[in-house]
Structure 1
Amino acid sequence: MKHSAVAPSEVNVKLIPDKLQFTKSSKKLSYQVIFSSTLTSLKEDLFGSITWCNDSSLTLLRKKTSATEPILD
């Protein structure tokens, strides 16, 4: 499965791994999301989403994300 991340222009999103590969024995997989930004504080809430799709572009998982507190390094 491949991912697509939608985020405000001020926020960078990195997903690890880039792809999820399910098999008969691995029906549950984990992934890590890393958010980074040059912002030191938020003037308003920020929203985005992460979508995982299979090769036929069928959406299998969509996770909404939000940032409501200052982003710290």
Structure 2
Amino acid sequence: MTLIAYLHTFLAVRLAELRRDGERGDSPVPTAVIIMGLVVVATVVTAGALAAAKGWLDKIPAPGDVK
């Protein structure tokens, strides 16, 4: 019976400590959302730069096409 009382007291004290500690840091979810947003923006910028470069390179005549 004393083991059950000890475990009950230990768990009660531990849960009280966990509830009392209000400054536990930021949740990782907002950080993950920000990172995913940055990845999407970087992908869009890279795709735009690739399309612009491809369009610019397509305007360059081939060596045999010189008039």
TM-score category (smaller protein): under 0.3
> Which structure would you say has the larger RCO, counting Cα contacts within 8 Å and 6 or more residues apart?
1
Question: Over alpha carbons, which structure has the higher Rg?
Answer: 2
Give the structure with the higher percent helix. Answer: 2
Give the structure with the higher percent strand. Answer: 1
How high is the TM-score relative to the length of structure 1?
Answer: 0.17
